[in-house]
Each structure stands twice: as structure tokens, then as C-alpha cells.
Structure 1
Amino acid sequence: MGNISIKTAEDIEGMRLAGRLGSEVLDYITPFVKAGVTTGELDRLCHEYMVNVQGTIPAPLNYCPPGYTPYPKAICTSVNDVICHGIPGDKVLKNGDSVNLDITVIKDGYHGDNSRMFLIGEPSILTRRLSEITYECMWLGISKVKPGAHLGDIGYVIQQHAEKAGYSVVREFCGHGIGKVFHEEPQVLHYGRPGTLEKLEAGMIFTIEPMINAGRREIREMGDGWTIKTKDRSLSAQWEHTVLVTETGYEVLTLSAGSPPPPAFITSPATQAVSA
């Protein structure tokens, strides 16, 4: 098992609230994500909403893992060939772009971490399909979550679905355990073999956040020390939810009124478990 924390009932309540609030930031920002807006403006709006309306703390702001410089903004804005950790700034979104907004809030010490894709104006068929397949990958991974299952089961279904579509799975970044700590054990790989890696237990909470590239899986790091792009400049997409392992299956903690519905093939009643 290693150091994977099993959350208490109190922790789970705290994580439900943080998760819903994290999702509500994405609901709030949705109408602003359109052609002509800068990623810096989206960051400013989200930051003000978190601090002034929700009373939450933006977790990425000044976040500094070992070997990194402090992250300078409240959210991550990853446009087109940016895989993850795009830093908001002067970039203007234009018709046909795709952007992932990755939001993590801290409420009463607990982290709510999620991301969504936004397609600007009239996206190409390729852009739309990549986002849809990636969304399906996330939900297929979620659907495997239950006590006794293995982390490898999650990675396997994600990798199968992505590669069947002709896409590749980024390997250098993965989902992670989360709670009062932003990133903790376990690592949740988005590729793998069934029946391998840690066995899931009720009370575990972790993110599932596949990063799927339209081209090859290789990455390149930009000079800012954070932004990660596809090496071949192909498009990349990502979706993310925070998930609790329950006694019978799973509960998605990052759901709110504006969350996109699960794909039609996800039938588990657990997906509807939005806490009031």
C-alpha cells in the first residue's frame, strides 16, 4: 500500500465541498472563454471569483515543487499544442483554438482539482474529436474505480481507447492522490496493464486526468520551466475529475450544476452522486 492515505468521513465531506467549488469555478468562467479573450484575463476572473466570491485559495499560485520556480498564476491555461501547465498571459484565444482550463481550489485546507476543455468558435473536426475521445478516456478510467480494482485497470482502459482512435497517451504526467495535500500518493498512470499497481480501497481519493495527443506522445518543456508542449506540435487535450473510491464503486467529487454530462456509455448510478 505504501503511503496512500485513506480519508476519514470528515475528510470526505471537506473534499466534496472543495470539489464542487473547483467545478463551480469552471461553470463561472465558461461564458468568458471565447475568441478575443486573453488567457491572462481568464486567470484574473477566476482568481477574483475564487478569492472574493467563494472564499477559496487558488492552489497553483506560488505552488513550488522541488526543482521548480513558483507557479505565477491562479489557474493553468493550456492552448492547442500545450499539454499542461500553460501559464496565463497575453495569448489571445482565436476561432478554432482549444484550451484546457485546470482549476484547483483550497477550501478549509482541502483541495478540489479538475479541468475541462473549451473549444473556441468553430473548431475543426480533429479538434472536436480529440476533446471527445479524451473526455471518454477520463470517464472510462473513472468507471473502473471500485474497491479491489487496480490502478493498472484505469490506465489500461484509457490507453486502449486513446490508441484505438489513433492518438497517444502522455506518460510524464499522471493523476495523483489528493486531500489536504495537493499531490500525494498514489500516482495514477493513464496507461498500463490490468491487475497491476496498487489495489484500490474505499476512502482513497485521487484525480484521473488523461493527457491525450493527436500525434506522438513525446513532450518538450518550454523555457518558463512549466509549460509542456507536444514535441511534434500536434494538438493535445485533457479532462480531469477528482474521484472517491466508495464501498460500492466511485463518487465523482468535482461535479456541479454546469458539469458536462457523462458519456452515454457510462450508466453507473454513482456518476449521479452529486452531494447537495
Structure 2
Amino acid sequence: MFRSCLQQSRLKTALPGFSRNIGSVILPEEPFVLGVSHITPRSVPQHILRPRYAGGSPTVPQDVDGKVQLGGDAERRLRAAATLARNTREFAGTLVKTHVTTNEIDTAVHEYIIAHSAYPSPLLYSGFPRSCCTSVNNILAHGIPDDRPLEDGDMVCVDVTVYLDGYHGDTAQTFLVGNVDEPGRELAKVTNAALEAGIAACGPGRHFSEIGRAIHNLIRDTDFCISPHFTGHGIGTAFHRKPWIYHDLNDEPEVMRPGHCFTIEPCIIEGKTPTCWIFPDGWTASTEDCARSAQAEHMVLITESGYKVLTR
């Protein structure tokens, strides 16, 4: 898999008239370093409320359905966390420019979150060393911010989650750097359309499987495919919990109920090869053939009569 990406990278660089506006292939740095223990996590002021895992407790996704009581204090706090996540995502988007490093974006996002008295949820989640995920070009998800400057033609998904007043808010968007080529712009457009199709399939009494069916129906006649490796998830007082949201065709029997809050976050890939491999750091997931990918994410709350998108 690594050889395939390396060959693709060299081929692009060697092609006569190769245009930089399709972005560079992202590969692990050599010599390889296993894990992330060499990366020093950023500090968070002691007065900010932290999730349990930030203090060293085991990070275990909760395999039980979580619902929020509608109309009460819990919903108010959930909405506040979602709003801060949305604002953080939009702030991050203003930072995405050529020559800016994803590490610089992460630093600014970290400072923005703690300035709003919240904790950056990815930090120390199962040992993750940074405060947001930045996935560039062929990186599907969980890209670790680093010192590589963004280049003209890059596509970068910034995935932010905040922990505010005991609740998590989670959202992501793929941003374009400079002059991205038309297929890349179409990929970003289709990814957001897939997210909206999944959202439109929501409502009380509807099956969670309808989300994946709606996204599949949108994507099937395009030049793109859906990554089956990453799911949406329930969210609230826990970062990840049931229900698990599959973005491709599935036969999950569970039904949406008022109070369910979850993310929809399809990862869409150029071409028809939905494979991936993980870098030696144990986190960064790349397409196997170096194809570009894009991701977008919203939080959806099921109400008595429909749904609300909390991170819009």
C-alpha cells in the first residue's frame, strides 16, 4: 500500500506539465516513528472542565443508546456545545491558506476553544496528541496536524470537537486551498450533498439505515465512492456512543427516537476504490491508491416532529 502511494507521488511529480493544483500526496515521514508518544500534547488551563479520558481514564466508546431529554437543561447544554463547535469550524476555515501549516491551524483552534472555556475533545482521546484533526488530500480521517505547509491545490478537512459544560459538540468541513482543480471542487461539493442527503433521511420513527441508503443513492452514479471505514456516532455527554451511523448500504434495524443526537459524517473518495491503510503513527488513515477524499460532518438531534441540525 505504501509503495502504491509512493509510486503515485513520484509519477505525478515526473509528469510533463504536471499542475500543482491537484495537491500533493501525503505520506508518512521517514524514518518512520511508531505511535505518537514523541508528540507533546498542548496544555489546557486547570479551571476548564475536562472529559474523564483527559485525566487518564480508559477511552471506551459507549455501546449503549444515549438520548437527551428534550426541552430541558441537557438539551440547552448540548446545543451550546454544538454552537461552539460550529463557530470553531468556521474560525478554522479562515485559517486555511497556502503556506500555513496544519500545526499552526491546530494551535489557533486550541487557543480559540480554551478561550471559550471549553476543552478540545480530540486531545488525549485514546492518546491523540493534538486538538483537532486535519486530513489533507489523500488522508481520509484522523490526520495529525504537522509542520507541512499547505500548498496551492490542497484540500483539507478540519474536524473539530469541543467539550463544554459536560457535553461534546462535533463538526467538520473540507476546505479548499487556493486554486483546486475542478474534480477536487466537485468532490467537495458532492461530499456536502451526501451529508445533506443523509440529514434529509432523518426523523422520528425512521430507520438509521435510511441515512446510508440516501447517501448511496446520491453517490452511485458519480465518479466517487463512500468510505465504509468511518461511521457517524451518537454524541452528548460521551464523545462516541451508540447509535453508530453507517454511510453506505446497511441493514441496521434500529429506529430514530426523539432525543437521539448523532453525527453524520460521510467520507467520499475520488474513484471507485474505497480502501484505506493506517500510517505508522496509528492514527492517520490514507486511501490506498492515494486518491483524494473529502469529509463533512454535522450533529443531528431528533425531535418529536422531525430533526434539528445543531452545527449548521
What's the TM-score, normalizing by structure 2? 0.77
- Given that 1:25 and 1:49 are in contact with CA atoms closer than 8 Å, whether structure 2 keeps it comes out as yes
Residue of 277, 292, 297 corresponding to 1:240: 297
Give the alignment of 1:209-224 within 5 angstroms: 209-215=265-271, 216-224=273-281
User: Across the two proteins, how many residue pairs are aligned to each other?
Assistant: 247
Maintained 8 Å contact 1:104/1:112: yes
Residue 226 in structure 1 maps to residue 283 in structure 2:
yes
**Runs (5+) with no aligned partner, structure 1:** 65-69, 256-276
Contact 1:134–1:162 under 8 Å retained in 2: no
Q: Which amino acid aligns with 1:225?
A: G
Aligned equivalents of 2:258 and 2:184: distance in 1?
37
User: Does residue 25 of structure 2 align to residue 25 of structure 1?
Assistant: no
Alignment of 1:5 with 2:61, yes or no, is no
Q: 1:147 aligns with which of 204, 217, 226?
A: 204
Q: Which residue of the other structure, out of 113, 125, 141, is the alignment partner of 1:63? A: 125
Q: Which runs of 4+ in 1 moved over 3 A?
A: none
Query: Which structure is larger by alpha-carbon Rg, 1 or 2?
Result: 2
Residue 207 (structure 1) aligned with residue 245 (structure 2): no
2:108 corresponding residue in structure 1: 45
Aligned equivalents of 1:32, 1:178: Cα separation in 2: 27
C-alpha deviation, 1:31, in angstroms: 2.1
Call closer, same or farther: CA 1:32–1:196 in 2, change over 3 Å.
closer
Cα distance in 2, alignment partners of residues 14 and 150 from structure 1: 27
Q: Which residue number in structure 1 is paired with residue 194 of structure 2?
A: 137
For residue 118 of structure 1, what is the amino acid of its counterpart? Answer: F
SS at match of 2:65: coil
By how many angstroms is 1:30 displaced?
2.2
1:162 correspondence with 2:225: no
Distance, in Å, in 2 between the alignment partners of 1:139 and 1:204 is 18
CA distance in 2, matches of 1:94, 1:5: 41
Asked if 2 retains the 8 angstrom alpha-carbon contact of 1:153 and 1:196, the reply is no
Q: Provide the residue aligned with 1:272 in structure 2.
A: none
Correspondence for 1:36 = 99
TM-score, normalised via structure 1 length: 0.87
Q: RMSD of aligned C-alpha atoms?
A: 1.2
Which secondary structure does the structure 2 equivalent of 1:22 belong to? helix
Whether contact under 8 Å (2:82, 2:169) holds in the other structure is: yes
1:256-275 aligned within 5 A: none
Contact 2:133 2:160 in 1 (8 A): yes
Query: What amino acid maps onto 1:146 in structure 2?
Result: G
Task: Report the residue type matching 1:3 in the other structure.
Answer: V
Q: Secondary structure, in 3 states, of the residue corresponding to 1:213?
A: strand
Shift of 1:196: 4.4
Q: Gaps (5+ residues) in structure 2?
A: 1-62
- Deviation at residue 108 of structure 1 after TM alignment: 0.4
Q: Counterpart amino acid of 2:266?
A: P
